[in-house]
Amino acid sequence: MIVHKIHLPHSKNSAESETVTLPLPHRAIISTAQHVGAVCTPTVKVGDRVKIGDVIADSDAVMSAPVHASISGTVSEFTEVLHISGRNMPAIVIESDGLGEISGDIKPPVINSREDFLDAVRRSGSIGLGGAGFPTSMKLGFDPKEKQPDKLIINGAECEPYITSDYRCFIEEGEKVLDGALQIMKYLDIPECIIGIEDNKPKAIAKMRELCASHPNVTIFPLKSSYPQGAEKTLIYSTTKRVVKEGTLPIACGCIVINSSTCAFISDYLKTGMPLVSRRITVDGNIVKKPANFIAAVGMSIGEIVYYAELCAEPDRIILGGPMMGACAFELDYPLSKTNNAVLLFNNSPVYKPTACIRCGRCVRACSMGLMPTAIETAFDLRDAKKLDALNVNLCVNCGACSFVCPAKRNLAEKNQLAKAFLREQANSIKGA
Ligand code: SF4
Ligand code: SF4
């Protein structure tokens, strides 16, 4: 396992601001593609009345999580929203009745077994709130007869600049993070938990140490503040020195990794039965007057959320997520999804023109996965699938570190993503032949 990492400016400007819960919006546009995996099918029709927490879309696919109404009102239309993948995805529009009524189905789940717990996690609509969007029930739904993990790792690294939503969760809801972890350990029979937090968050480390003092099987692990410390494989290596081999999942080395805010949500859901209908989001950037964290309804317009943080200029760059792994949005009129942990707004953003590679090797030294980004770029430009495979491009975690350090400003991380998509296409065309 290669562990070269890079150092980024932290710019955690919203770290000390208490989270503000925003009023419910007049309208919610809720995508049915809220997670990695199958797109859900609407279970409502135009004209239906819905209340907060009602299921509005679901799927039979294993890799999925139901989608719930985040406001009460009437389903007014089905539309499409631009997904982070660049494709249009179906969405359900709800016009608010202004009442904020909660569904009569909301009640804490009754849990007597592992199966009950996994069923509840699925029904909660939980997905990885750190940005990856993997359905939580899939992550926790391992077969103990095949492999039983011995370590639950809580990812509180939050290594990207600006983002503080997990940090605020530790500070404001640390009890829930711990409780969520204890519940997972109890129902899935995992004996040990490690909560990894970067050492640039001493208050979060101190708070969690205090809370965990009476739980000897839960350890707080201060992680060196470097990037990409929060990448799953890197985090597992940093906390346990175990290596997730290529083509395998963390469970193969006895680990399950869950984001800290996801843990807090699971704790909440088990107590209240309220599914994932809102989330914490950081708003920051060089034109944001009041960098802050907000709790907002899923489907609320990003523009409306940003309004509460006050902009002092028009943005020329809007990033959903962090500056390293986030995706640029064309406009602010974009609905909040379960996976959005931040929106960053900038103006006067530098535009770089790539120049020729000077073979300095910085991209290779920066890559935590031990890849050769410049060789991958050349192989992709030649559409050389064999070479890309030999260069292990599929190990790339899209962290962007190679692009960040490149003095020639080459778009290496972008090429890696394109190369992975190219290999997938090749594999699919071979299967289909
Ligand atoms: S984007 Fe991929 S190739 Fe580049 S540094 Fe990150 S893991 Fe390595
Ligand atoms: S960091 Fe940039 S210039 Fe240096 S070897 Fe890599 S691609 Fe070439």
Digit-coded pLDDT (tens) for 307-357? 999 999 999 999 999 999 998 988 898 899 999 999 999 998 888 899 999
> CA 378, 383, 387, 391 torsion: positive or negative?
positive
| pLDDT at residue 427, as a whole number | 81
The Cα–Cα gap between 155 and 197 comes to 7
Ligand 2 close to Cβ of residue 354 (< 6 A): no
Q: Which ligand is nearest to the CA of 414?
A: 1
Q: Which residues line ligand 1 (CB under 6 A)?
A: 366-367, 369, 371, 373, 396-402, 412-413, 416
| pLDDT at residue 82, as a whole number | 79
List Cα–Cα distances, 308 to 20, 75, 181, 305, 342, in angstroms.
Answer: 9, 26, 32, 6, 14
Ligand 2 close to Cβ of residue 71 (< 6 A): no
Q: Is 191 helix (H, G, I), strand (E, B) or coil?
A: coil
Ligand 2 close to Cβ of residue 406 (< 6 A): yes
List Cα–Cα distances, 140 to 21, 134, 386, 409, in angstroms.
Answer: 29, 11, 35, 40
Residue whose CB lies within 8 A of the most ligand 1 atoms, among 237, 364, 377, 397, for a mutation test: 397
Give the single-character DSSP code of 272: H
Strands (E), 54-167: 55-58, 67-68, 73-82, 88-96, 151-156
| pLDDT at residue 48, as a whole number | 98
Ligand 2 close to Cβ of residue 358 (< 6 A): yes
| pLDDT at residue 132, as a whole number | 78
Q: Which ligand is nearest to the CA of 413?
A: 1
pTM over 0.85? The answer is: yes
In ligand 2, which atom is closest to the CA atom of 360? Answer: 4
Q: Which ligand is nearest to the CA of 401?
A: 1
| pLDDT at residue 36, as a whole number | 84
Taking each helix axis from N to C end, the angle separating 260-272 and 165-188, rounded to the nearest 10 degrees, works out to: 60
| pLDDT at residue 83, as a whole number | 73
Q: Which ligand is nearest to the CA of 416?
A: 1
The Cα–Cα gap between 30 and 57 comes to 10
| pLDDT at residue 113, as a whole number | 96
- Which residue ranges in the chain fall short of pLDDT 70? 1-4, 84-85, 430-433
Going along the chain from its start, the domains and CATH numbers come out as 20-106+274-346 (3.10.20.600), 114-272 (3.40.50.11540), 362-432 (no CATH)
Residue whose CB lies within 8 A of the most ligand 2 atoms, among 363, 414, 415, for a mutation test: 363
Strands (E), 242-375: 255-259, 278-284, 292-297, 317-320, 327-329, 342-346
Instruction: Count, in order, helices (H) and strands (E) of the chain.
Output: 12, 17
Q: Is 242 helix (H, G, I), strand (E, B) or coil?
A: coil
The overall longest dimension of the chain from CA atoms, in Å, is: 64
The Cα–Cα gap between 30 and 381 comes to 38
| pLDDT at residue 136, as a whole number | 96
Written as six digits, the tokens of 153 are 């790792």
Rg (CA), the chain: 21
The Cα–Cα gap between 238 and 230 comes to 10
pLDDT per residue as tens digits for the range 207-224: 999 999 999 999 999 999
List Cα–Cα distances, 162 to 165, 282, 341, in angstroms.
Answer: 9, 8, 11
